[in-house]
Structure 1
Amino acid sequence: MCKVAAIQMKPASGQTDANLQQAVFMAEQAVGEGAELLVFPELWKTGYHLKKEEFLRLAETRDGKTVSLFRDLARKWGTVIVVPFAEIDGDHLYISLAVIERTGELLATYRKSFVWGKEKDSFTNGERQYRVIHTSLGKIGVLICYDIEFPEPARLLALQGAELIIVPSVWSFGAETRWDIQLPARALDNTVFILGVNTVGEGSCGKSKLVAPDGQVLCEASREEACILLHDIQPELIGKARARIPYLADFDESLLPGGEARKSGMVILG
């Protein structure tokens, strides 16, 4: 499929210029090492531990400076980029991401559908609709942090043909055990690749990781240091895993709501 780069950053709260400089520097390094897909963590530009008024000041629209810059960089570098951002839309704030093709085309945006804990003081849940995104590197799904703790979104993406599910996150030390369990579990449940991209600092546990379709952790980043995690994705591992572990072939689709609608990603959860 491609060589992926998880950009595990150490954001400084509210320091958007410094965080952007760090992101571009690390991304350029990854591109120099052959990365074809770049993924940044959740809320990397703003930091995580801010009050609502601070997020309101720093949030952008989906055609704002951050997404526009990374569209230009995707075109310059010839890479696919998944870049989260704090999004403002009218009176609402969302934790969002943009998926950008190597041509600079904005393929899709996604809003975190399950807002966690104190995030509810600032952010609104996005729609619980999950659609596969067709990129030049293959079919990907995107979820954000807490979304991966529910089995249904990942399953819906897998049933639509996702080969890789990308999960930008700010995952805490207190929830580290869940990070170590749930990413491999979702990969194995659905026999797909899972790429979790976390931050360090601000109480985050790092350990960005790429998990194979059989649940094996292929590579894992530092628990405390900013770094670039690079690894090749081999799509043939999906077929091999599904030949041994026929979860999707044996799954009873009548257990899902929406009937045929789920094939187009139109199932709405909750």
Structure 2
Amino acid sequence: MKPFAIAGIQMKVSAVASNVEMMKLKIDITMNLYPWIEMIVFSELCAFGPLSHTAQPIPNNFEAEMQAKAKQYGIWLLPGSIFEKTDGNIYNTATVINPAGEIVTRYRKMFPFYPYETGVTPGVHYCVFDVPNVGRFGVSICYDMWFPETIRTLVTMGAEVILHPTLTGTIDREIELSIVRAMASINQCFMFDINGLDTGGCGRSIICGPDGRVLYQSEGTEEIIPLELDIERVKRSRELGILRLGQPLKSFRDHLKSSQFGIYQPNLDTPYLDSLGPLIKPSRLDTITELKIKENQLEIESSPAHYKGDGLI
């Protein structure tokens, strides 16, 4: 057994005031209640909320305060994400801090939630880091998970646990819960998905093991979620199969060695995907316009003057 204790913090997030002091308090409470915790994970955009006007350069005071907290308790810390402003772009960026208070890595969300997360630039680099004598961890953020290639790439890079800060307050949260289970089982890894509350999400954080089974799922209230994971379960699953049955990572590896996936070839012609149209936000006006066009066409076709025999169309 290779135990490692992680706590997820599901907390209320304000969009009009800083949440940093409350995050610091939640860390204090967590470490006083559960001193055996070795890592804490917050939800996406927890510190300053979901509005991009809060974007700021990195490094900044927020990171420094989180570094001090990590060092104070000797824990790993992923304090959700913030909007980062750099070179005229805005990124959705998460920072990983080690027990010495050092920044180990940063990750920029690769798939902003278009067409709703407007004005945010996608990141281009995957993110993994090692916890010594424990295992390799990957970081993804919210909508990234809807693209299986992201989690599969992290796992191909050796990730055994995926830390997944989320901000979902929409009616598709139920779908996301199923995606977390699917990603955990398909990639034979732990998925640690932490959502926020109020403007930070609708809660229902979920943690799944490498067989896709739910280890814990919260509801819609503030909660500290302390869990001890047995990282050795990932290795066992990947060597012997999910429930001693399918071995998807080995099959994926063997297929890659013998052939390629055609849809990923460079300069691939994708007429069907191109036919789907631009990535834009649905609009009621578009629907009304389409209905009016159809109604006008029906009126013309049903008009008494609409007879070819009379020479009228």
Instruction: Return the TM-score normalized by structure 2.
Output: 0.75
- Structure 2 match to 1:61: 57
Instruction: Tell me the percent identity.
Output: 27
Aligned partner letter, 2:39? L
- Structure 1 match to 2:22: 22
- Structure 2 match to 1:104: 101
Out of 70, 75, 96, the residue aligned to residue 71 of structure 2 is 75
- Structure 2 match to 1:247: 248
- Structure 2 match to 1:4: 6
Q: Structure 1 CA distance, aligned partners of 2:37 and 2:57?
A: 27
Q: What stretches of structure 1 of length at least 5 have no aligned partner?
A: 259-270
- Structure 1 match to 2:268: none
Query: Which range moves more in the overlay, 22-31 or 157-166?
Result: 22-31
Question: How does 1:90-169 map onto structure 2 within 5 Å?
Answer: 90-127=87-124, 129-136=125-132, 137-169=134-166
**What are the Cα deviations for residues 18-58 of structure 1, in whole angstroms up to 9, with x where unaligned?**
x112111111122220211111111111212x3xxxx33x2
Greater RCO (CA < 8 Å, at least 6 residues apart): 1
- Structure 2 match to 1:214: 211
Q: Structure 2 CA distance, aligned partners of 1:96 and 1:247?
A: 31
Aligned partner letter, 2:247? P
**What are the Cα deviations for residues 188-212 of structure 1, in whole angstroms up to 9, with x where unaligned?**
0100000001011138221111100
**What are the Cα deviations for residues 46-88 of structure 1, in whole angstroms up to 9, with x where unaligned?**
212x3xxxx33x2222210111111111111100011222111
Instruction: Return the TM-score normalized by structure 1.
Output: 0.86
Indicate if the aligned counterparts of 2:135 and 2:231 stay in contact, CA closer than 8 A. no
Aligned length: 248
Q: Structure 2 CA distance, aligned partners of 1:43 and 1:195?
A: 16
Q: Between Structure 1 and Structure 2, whose CA radius of gyration is higher?
A: 2
Q: Structure 2 CA distance, aligned partners of 1:20 and 1:131?
A: 24
- Structure 1 residue 187 and structure 2 residue 189: aligned? no
Q: Structure 1 CA distance, aligned partners of 2:260 and 2:128?
A: 20
